[in-house]
Amino acid sequence: MKSDQTHQDLKYWLALLRTPGIGCRTFQKILGTFTPFEFLSESSQALSALGLKHELIHAIKNPDWTAIDNDLAWQEQPNNTIIIFNDPLYPPQLKEISDPPPVLFVCGHTDILSYPQIAMVGSRNPSTQGKETAFNFAKALSQSGFVITSGLALGIDAASHEGALGANGYTIAVAGTGLDHVYPAIHKNLATEITHSGALISELPLGTSAKANHFPRRNRIISGLCQGLLVVEAAKQSGSLITARMALEQNREVFAIPGSIHNPLARGCNALIREGAKLIETYQDILEELSYYNQIDANNPHADSQSMLDLEQQTLLNLVMFSPTSIDNLVENTGIPVELISSTLLYLELQGYIEAVPGGCYTRIK
């Protein structure tokens, strides 16, 4: 339970958050001079002297206390947290962006918000290969100690979350709705699974439904939380390119997986590479670029079981799924010669990490 004083402070942050006409930048300007309580306590005359219009002053002086009480009641439920900008739990990397959200609603584990993160974005209608690539990259990067951050959308987002979950790793979904809604609704079960081993977060208060303008703003949080952003598959006019450019503006690393010049879903990634994004062929390319973040084994639930493997063996093991994985698939994802892959798979099988299954495939067993 939160203390009465914490509730008193928080309710004024929520009142300001819910005031129509006060966005992130205005909120930050207010915090430069006032606390939310002080600002809301100012007289109408004082607010008018600050240059505020009558309609905004009326909204400031008449908060929706019923909705705010609902927010506070939501926070009292297990696994729910509301984090304000000056809270120690607020992720420091998100504070660096030009318009950080003043309040974050979190369902799940708050500590992982400050862990090193790779954001993954791409098409909502990817190819089968694109989804598989996203899943495998997310799984391997998760097993290397990164949190996988995405937007819970159909396609590449979902495959990225699922890849991290498949590795028993951490994943963060940034919602474009209030956390009492799940969008798209088909991802309700995925959202629930994410809260068990990761976090759902939103800057939008409870009761906020999906609207088109929420998602571009949501994307600045996805890129703001991460150390690097990977675009897996994106058409030339994809919203993922907007996220990538936001990441560049926020001084984040941007990575892109190239594709055929004949594939419309590769044109966005190819364009990003022309503009300076780093071309990525294997997940190790990302690890090399972000090696200075020094992922700790405590964030990697598979570190102990893999500690006796050399780098090539561990790399290959990270790409063998808990469902049948073909040698052709491994060759394509790693670029390692088939002879070396075959010998490494034999070693991993003898050590009890994988087993051969019909169809010339292998399945991970630990």
Give me the tens of pLDDT residue by residue for the chain, a chain 366 residues long: 443 446 668 999 999 999 999 999 999 999 999 999 999 999 999 999 999 999 999 999 999 999 999 999 999 999 999 999 999 999 999 999 999 999 999 999 999 999 999 999 999 999 999 999 999 999 999 999 999 999 999 999 999 999 999 999 999 999 999 999 999 999 999 999 999 989 999 999 999 998 888 888 999 999 999 999 999 999 888 889 989 999 999 999 999 999 888 889 999 999 999 999 999 999 999 999 987 664 544 444 444 444 477 777 877 887 887 668 888 888 887 778 888 899 999 999 888 888 898 888 998 776
Helix (H, G, I), strand (E, B) or coil at 54: helix
Residue 296 is predicted with a pLDDT of 43
Please calculate the CA angle 22-26-222 and round it to the nearest 5 degrees: 90
Residue 294 is predicted with a pLDDT of 46
Tokens at residue 73, please? 């009641």
Place of tokens 């690393």: 253
Residue 230 is predicted with a pLDDT of 98
* DSSP, res 188: H
CA distances from 140 to 160, 169, 192, 292, 297 (A): 11, 10, 22, 18, 14
Residue 293 is predicted with a pLDDT of 62
Helix (H, G, I), strand (E, B) or coil at 238: coil
In 3D space, the residue among 303, 341, 41 whose CA is nearest the CA of residue 168 turns out to be: 303
Q: Rounded to 5, what percent of the chain is helix, strand, coil? A: 50, 15, 35
Phi, psi values for residue 137, rounded to 5°: -65, -45
CA distances from 141 to 145, 219, 317 (A): 7, 21, 12
Which residues is 173 bridged to in the sheet? 150, 200
Asked if 220 contacts 282 with a C-beta cutoff of 8 angstroms, the reply is no
In 3D space, the residue among 225, 117, 120, 103 whose CA is nearest the CA of residue 162 turns out to be: 120
Distance CA 306, CA 157 (A): 27
Kindly report the number of other CB atoms within 10 A of residue 299's CB atom: 17
Q: CB-based contacts of 42: which residues, under 8 Å, 6+ apart?
A: 34
Distance CA 268, CA 241 (A): 7
Distance CA 86, CA 84 (A): 6
Asked if 255 contacts 140 with a C-beta cutoff of 8 angstroms, the reply is no
Residue 5 is predicted with a pLDDT of 41
pTM: 0.79
In 3D space, the residue among 189, 187, 142 whose CA is nearest the CA of residue 166 turns out to be: 142
